[in-house]
Structure 1
Amino acid sequence: MASVIPTSGPGSLKCPYYAPFFGAMGAAAAMVFTAFGAAYGTAKSGTGICSMAVIRPDLIMKSIVPVVMAGIIGIYGLVISVLIGNSMAASNYPLYEGMLDLGSGLCVGLSGLAAGTAIGIVGDSGVRGTAQQPRLFVGMILILIFAEVLGLYGMIVAIILNTATSGLDCGHAA
């Protein structure tokens, strides 16, 4: 006896039972990759601060800026993960929405990873250079802003992808 796949409702081709898996993977990717980026940026900048503090301990508080900016990257991933998690419903979650949520998680996650890496490298070199030449501080801040905005771009696109699914539903099984 051949099995019949329903055309609407949970378990249909439009809303298979595995669709929430892709949304969950999007939320996980958003958090994991942005956390990796934030952690790398914090660690790399922190080593530069420790090295700089030996030469110029009076500049320690000024040099915390890269660490704060790296931490903000993690917040981007948290925001998208919460948006994805709030939109998930196991009984009414189309595959199309799952794929868009996966894409939005990967978008913010990978751009956050890149931004965190850039912030860490610039922060490390920037605070070490600022210890030797204090006029370098403003240039370091500008470069850090340009690195931070890469993560912001990823979050904006992720929000657009996440909200593109409004109005989709699985319908009701006949």
Structure 2
Amino acid sequence: MSSDLCPTYAPFFGAMGCAVAIIFTNFGAAYGTAKSGVGIAAATVLRPDQIARNIVPVVMAGIISIYGLVVSVIIANGLYIDQTLYAGFIQLGAGLAVGLSGLAAGFAIGIVGDAGVRGTAQQPRLFMGMLLILILAEVLGLYGLIVAMLMNSRATGMGRCGTHGQLI
């Protein structure tokens, strides 16, 4: 039996939150890695001695996917077959928060990384400016991680449904 607060499809929303957290952050990380990698390849032709230093945007893009992985694991650990609809929606919102923030951060890191490593190849003094902008772009993903963890902490304290659809 189910009720309005405890429908049988409530865990679906939590599972979708788990999925979108990892999918969108990986899309952002992949875009950031690919876009920065193109810039690194172009800049290395001009300055092959700076390849190790120009790897920074790729590393920062990879960190974005770790945020999604952390939130996905946390949401997956909170999934129950008898959870409330409220908990499912909170888990979906948490996944969207980190996923879309990670997607935006990955786009920003890719664009800044591409232009930054190309500019650094021509003028090495631009490296610190590029690094600061990359840090600010990475923080966008970190904000999503923090919001997702705060939201998910609300979902875990909302109780579960009993055998007749009532909250316990």
Q: Shorter chain as normaliser: what TM range?
A: over 0.9
Tell me the amino acid that sits aligned with residue 70 of structure 1: A
Identify unmatched segments of 5+ residues in structure 2. Answer: none
What SS class does the counterpart of residue 172 from structure 1 fall into?
coil
| Corresponding residue for residue 49 of structure 2 | 58
| Corresponding residue for residue 138 of structure 2 | 148
Instruction: Tell me how far 1:173 sits from its aligned partner.
Output: 3.6
Percent identity of paired positions between Structure 1 and Structure 2: 65
Greater Rg over alpha carbons, structure: 1
**In 2, distance between residues paired with 1:157 and 1:169?**
21
Q: Do 1:14 and 1:170's aligned partners in 2 also have CA atoms closer than 8 Å?
A: no
What SS class does the counterpart of residue 158 from structure 2 fall into?
coil
Match of 2:68 among 74, 77, 80: 77
Match of 2:84 among 69, 81, 94: 94
Instruction: Tell me how far 1:12 sits from its aligned partner.
Output: 2.2
**In 2, distance between residues paired with 1:60 and 1:167?**
48
Match of 1:137 among 87, 106, 127: 127
**In 2, distance between residues paired with 1:127 and 1:142?**
13
**In 1, distance between residues paired with 2:66 and 2:56?**
16
Higher helix share: 2
**In 2, distance between residues paired with 1:94 and 1:84?**
14
**In 1, distance between residues paired with 2:163 and 2:22?**
35
- Tell me the number of residue pairs that the alignment of Structure 1 and Structure 2 aligns: 164
C-alpha root-mean-square deviation of aligned residues, in Å? 1.0
State the Cα deviation string for residues 3-28 of structure 1 (Å, max 9, x = none).
xxx5xxxx222111100100011011
Matched, 1:25 2:2: no
Tell me the amino acid that sits aligned with residue 114 of structure 2: D
Match of 2:152 among 158, 162, 174: 162
Which of 160-169 and 130-139 deviates more? 160-169
**In 2, distance between residues paired with 1:134 and 1:116?**
24
**In 2, distance between residues paired with 1:139 and 1:78?**
29
What SS class does the counterpart of residue 124 from structure 2 fall into?
coil
**In 2, distance between residues paired with 1:97 and 1:171?**
11
What is the TM-score when the length of structure 2 is the normalising length?
0.95
What is the TM-score when the length of structure 1 is the normalising length?
0.91
Shift in alpha-carbon separation, 1:20–1:36, aligned structure 2, 3 A: same
